[in-house]
Structure 1
Amino acid sequence: MKNQSLSQNLIHASGRGEYDIVEQLLKDGASVHYKDADGRTALMAATQKNQVAIAKLLIKAGSNVNTRDITQLSPFICSAANGFHEILQLMIDAGADLKSVNRFGGTALLPSSEKGYLKTVQICLGAGVPVNHVNNLGWSALLEAVILGNGGRLYSEIIYSLVDAGADVHLADREGKSSLKHAKELNQQKVVNILTMEYEEGNDSIKKAKSLALMDQYEEAILEIDRGLEFDSKNLDLIYYKGYFLQELKKYEAALTEFNKALTLDPKDLDFYFYTANCFRLMKKSEEALNEYDKACNLDPTETFYRYHKSNYLRELGRHSEAVIEMDKLLALQPQRYDFSFHKANSLRSLGKHDEAIEAIENAIANDPTNPLYHLHKKQSLELLKQK
């Protein structure tokens, strides 16, 4: 019982970032393999809160980076799904199963491509996570980046990285549409150019800066961007890259200054609200991040990209009631998007509203009746309903 109590405390302390306490609990005999009621180990608790130093300590103590919780999520995939690339690298170095998947059948590369975590995508690709793996929704990482991205600067970089690593641009989804066809329908011209090998970065400063950034030489990359800004101080692409590189250096306030500078120059470039939201998210300022999503949604109420990513973030925060509201707004705009119904169903299930979850998942099944993932989730919701 003593060891169990110590191990429970280890999970709590790991999530709170209490390094000295974690260190002492390990010395006192707490087990890194112990799981709480949700199937979380101490490493999962540390990963969920991006506690890098504690994750490193737990891995050194023998924690398994591939152990799954009750939702079939491992610390390895959790780190990628949240863009926590420092912990992700620790997981990879510790022997993460690069082919492992989450409950949706997606590798670590898919959620990071969907959510716009460029550095995470690059780490996954460099480690050898399969680039053309298809999840249970019928999407590859490239399809997710095109369909759930906005064709802007950040997503274009992700798509370029995927294609450069061998992503199949002709691989089709369950409706028979390839990434190229989706990009054309979504009017993502820059993405179309990347997918057809017709894209080339025209700005020399950006070219040089990107090469330096790939080697993690962000300070040098910023100097290169500054040289470009000396001649073209209002170039939004140059300003974006400076902000992004500052963000990677964890100089978040400085990054926000650059992104807001761009918005001052062009308040209608909604892309930058996504970047400011990401910055606030990394600063663990959730309300500020949500406010940035709202600014973009208010400027263009018909644009689904920002509302979708807002709902994603709400789910990460465990604010499922609010996520459902956003999903309903998305479905009002695009009722044919059965993936929206699927996400709505997951939030409803997290709220214990199994009747409503089944209704939402049935809408997804009606649009895609052969998708096994939808039928599986309906079955699970029915089982949970019986247990109420």
Structure 2
Amino acid sequence: MAVGAAFAALGPAQAKLNLFGDLPIVEAIKEDSLDATKKAIIDGASVHSRAADGTPVILLAVGERNIEIVKLLVENGARPDDRSKKDETSPLTLASANGDLEIVIYLLDRKADVDLPGALRETALIKATRAHHNDVIRLLLERGANTDDTDSAGATALEIAQRAGWKDTEALFKTKKATTK
């Protein structure tokens, strides 16, 4: 299929790329604009679109830390577990690393996989632990996060907390009876 025909098949909202090769919905999210994101969707943009680098729009919204855009995308069919093609980061792992409790709650309530690994096999629990976000860790544990999952170096979240000397974080894992390998 010719490039022009491919763009025509996408519809008008999908065919208008900016100078960086991004679609209007991608540009709207990068600008952190709820109104522009709504307009892009109304104009036919897909909530499954990706930035030029392969990042799904829901992951961009999580990166912007904009719960309203995240909600808009999911309510219009975006998948809470749509991962980056570049490094397999999921919306939940990014929100956990950022300590965005409100977004983490929303994604989990929409059935995001609490144990979905991303880059370096790091789950949301491992990401939250590395960043010392105890409120997110507590929630992930309450929602059934597997404490035995390990990163690419073989460390569990509890071991990461122990190595960092975070007694407050270690205490959270004791309620879950987490193990060290």
Report TM bin, short chain.
Answer: 0.7 to 0.9
Q: Which 5+ residue runs of structure 2 have no aligned equivalent?
A: 1-6, 17-21
Residues 110-153 of structure 1, C-alpha deviation per residue, up to 9 Å, x if partnerless?
Answer: 01111111111111111111112122211000011111x2x3xx
Tell which structure's C-alpha radius of gyration is larger: 1
Structure 2 counterpart of 1:4: 14
Report the Cα distance in structure 1 between the residues aligned to 2:52 and 2:79, rounded to whole angstroms: 18
Structure 2 counterpart of 1:100: 116
2:156 is aligned with 1:140: yes
Q: How does 1:138-217 map to 2 (within 5 A)?
A: 138-147=154-163, 149=164, 151=165, 155-168=166-179, 171-172=180-181
Q: Which 5+ residue runs of structure 1 have no aligned equivalent?
A: 173-388
2:139 is aligned with 1:129: no
Checking the alignment, whether the CA contact within 8 Å between 1:3 and 1:29 is kept in structure 2 is: yes
Over the matched positions of the two proteins, sequence identity in percent amounts to: 24
Q: How does the TM-score come out when normalised to structure 2?
A: 0.85
Instruction: Choose between structure 1 and 2: higher helix proportion.
Output: 1
Checking the alignment, whether the CA contact within 8 Å between 2:162 and 2:170 is kept in structure 1 is: yes
**How big is the shift at 1:25?**
1.2
Residues 21-58 of structure 1, C-alpha deviation per residue, up to 9 Å, x if partnerless?
Answer: 11111111110101122211221111111011111111
Structure 2 counterpart of 1:276: none
User: Which structure is richer in relative contact order (CA contacts within 8 A, separation 6 or more)?
Assistant: 2
Report the Cα distance in structure 1 between the residues aligned to 2:51 and 2:71, rounded to whole angstroms: 20
Name the Cα RMSD after superposition.
1.5
Checking the alignment, whether the CA contact within 8 Å between 1:65 and 1:94 is kept in structure 2 is: yes
SS, match of residue 104 in structure 1: helix
**How big is the shift at 1:15?**
2.6
Report the Cα distance in structure 2 between the residues aligned to 1:33 and 1:57, rounded to whole angstroms: 12
Structure 2 counterpart of 1:47: 62
Structure 2 counterpart of 1:89: 105
After superposing on structure 2, the runs of 4+ consecutive aligned residues of structure 1 that deviate more than 6 Å are none
**How big is the shift at 1:18?**
0.6
**How big is the shift at 1:16?**
2.1
Aligned pairs, number: 165
Report the Cα distance in structure 2 between the residues aligned to 1:87 and 1:38, rounded to whole angstroms: 23
Report the Cα distance in structure 2 between the residues aligned to 1:21 and 1:123, rounded to whole angstroms: 32
Report the Cα distance in structure 2 between the residues aligned to 1:5 and 1:127, rounded to whole angstroms: 40
**How big is the shift at 1:157?**
2.1
Structure 1 counterpart of 2:44: 29
Residues 207-227 of structure 1, C-alpha deviation per residue, up to 9 Å, x if partnerless?
Answer: xxxxxxxxxxxxxxxxxxxxx
Report the Cα distance in structure 2 between the residues aligned to 1:50 and 1:120, rounded to whole angstroms: 15
